């Protein structure tokens, strides 16, 4: 299985630069934590990095129609990237997806198909076959390479970073960030973060075998963007090679972290986007010495009422 390398991340970074935002690092007052606010991206999540890179490559190859399945943020990113390159996009979303994410995907130009959570994958594959479209998975090679641009930015902006905390759904973001970080400085500690109620990735990491959890279990978490029942196969191979640890956080700590991000930085994070911050607040005494970076992976949730 071919893994993403630093050169692939560099090429992706250059390809997506005109279409995504280079997010800064924001210090959390009184802490050794800095936040990477991917909620500031055009589609309010990091997913746009991988989608723009993957669809850019596909457009160069002559592909005209793409299909993807998603909890919501990947769908919006695919819709945005398809519009950027003049492609047709069809996305499959679960019937539990927040209306905000469904509406956003449609507004960006995608055709939206709703399916039960457990049938997202088979529905996506059936549509691709019927429509003659190309499936874009959220841990495809070019998607991981695009996500790696976030890790490359962290390393350029903070060469002394000691630890990077990354939210985990199917593992594409963690895989990309880990490649970029470890190939820049092998001493950086890269840690994946999951909700306790959707910890299939942590279970996989501990056992050394890619493990699936039933949808009924992973859908208990409020972090709707992190409910994938298993890590992607390609993401898993990167995680096995490059990632140092996986930790979990409680539902209460996720809510508390979102409150801290809003109250101290004015950053609006959806629950999925707050898990890395929750990991710092919960586990900071156990983390290696040095500055810690936590990725705010998204902000697609109803606005906070203050």
Q: Does domain 48-135 have CATH number 3.40.50.1100?
A: yes
CA-to-CA distance for 236 and 247, rounded, in angstroms? 16
Q: Does domain 6-42+141-296 have CATH number 3.40.50.1100?
A: yes
Buried b / exposed e over 169-183, threshold 16 CB at 10 Å, is bbbbbbbbbbbbbbb
Name the residue ranges covered by the structural domains of the chain.
6-42+141-296, 48-135
Beta-carbon contacts of 93 under 8 Å, excluding residues fewer than 6 positions away, are: 69, 70, 71, 72, 75, 101, 102, 105, 112, 113, 114, 115, 120
Q: Do domains 6-42+141-296 and 48-135 have the same CATH topology?
A: yes
CA angle 39–45–50, rounded 5-degree value? 140
CA-to-CA distance for 194 and 250, rounded, in angstroms? 9
Buried b / exposed e over 128-152, threshold 16 CB at 10 Å, is beeeebbebbbbbbbbbbbbbbbbb
> DSSP letter at 266?
-
pLDDT score, position 71? 85
CA-to-CA distance for 96 and 130, rounded, in angstroms? 25
pLDDT per residue as tens, the chain (306 positions): 899 999 999 999 999 999 999 999 999 999 999 999 999 999 999 999 999 999 999 999 999 999 999 888 999 999 999 999 999 999 999 998 889 899 999 999 999 999 999 899 999 999 999 999 999 999 999 999 999 999 999 999 999 999 999 999 999 999 999 999 999 999 999 999 999 999 999 999 999 999 999 999 999 999 999 999 999 999 999 999 999 999 999 999 999 999 999 999 999 999 999 999 999 999 999 999 999 999 999 998 865 433
The model's pLDDT over 229-242, given as tens digits with 9 standing for 90+, comes to 999 999 999 999 99
Contact yes or no for 89/78 (Cβ under 8 A)? yes
Q: What is the pTM of this model?
A: 0.95
Token pair for 111: 């055709």
Residues listed for the chain: 306
The model's pLDDT over 4-36, given as tens digits with 9 standing for 90+, comes to 999 999 999 999 999 999 999 999 999 999 999
Contact yes or no for 251/195 (Cβ under 8 A)? yes
Which residue from 217, 137, 204 is spatially nearest to 172, judged by alpha carbons?
A: 137
CA-to-CA distance for 87 and 270, rounded, in angstroms? 29
């Amino acid at each position: 299985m071919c893994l993403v390398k630093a050169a692939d991340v560099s090429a992706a970074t250059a390809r997506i630069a005109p279409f995504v935002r280079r997010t800064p690092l924001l210090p959390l007052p009184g802490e050794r934590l800095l936040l990477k606010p991917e909620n500031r991206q055009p589609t309010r999540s990091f997913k746009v990095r991988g989608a723009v890179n993957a669809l850019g490559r596909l457009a160069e190859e002559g592909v005209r129609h793409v299909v993807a399945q998603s909890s919501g943020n990947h769908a919006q990113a695919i819709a945005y990237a398809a519009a950027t390159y003049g492609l047709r996009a069809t996305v499959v979303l679960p019937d539990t997806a927040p209306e905000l994410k469904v509406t956003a995907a449609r507004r960006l130009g995608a055709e939206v198909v709703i399916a039960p959570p457990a049938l997202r994958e088979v529905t996506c594959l059936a549509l691709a076959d019927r429509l003659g479209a190309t499936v874009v998975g959220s841990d495809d090679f070019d998607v991981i390479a695009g996500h790696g641009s976030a890790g490359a930015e962290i390393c350029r902006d903070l060469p002394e970073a000691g630890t990077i905390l990354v939210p985990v759904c199917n593992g594409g973001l963690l895989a990309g960030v880990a490649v970029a970080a470890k190939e820049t400085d092998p001493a950086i500690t890269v840690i994946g973060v999951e909700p306790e109620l959707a910890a299939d990735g942590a279970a996989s990491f501990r056992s050394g075998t890619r493990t699936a959890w039933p949808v009924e279990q992973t859908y208990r978490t409020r972090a709707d963007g992190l409910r994938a029942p298993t890590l992607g196969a390609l993401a898993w191979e990167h995680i096995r090679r490059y990632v140092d640890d996986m930790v979990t956080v409680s539902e209460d700590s996720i809510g508390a972290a979102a409150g801290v991000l809003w109250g101290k930085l004015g950053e609006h994070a959806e629950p999925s986007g707050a898990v890395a911050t929750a990991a710092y607040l919960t586990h900071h005494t156990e983390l290696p010495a040095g500055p810690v970076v936590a990725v705010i992976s998204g902000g697609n949730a109803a606005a906070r009422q203050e």
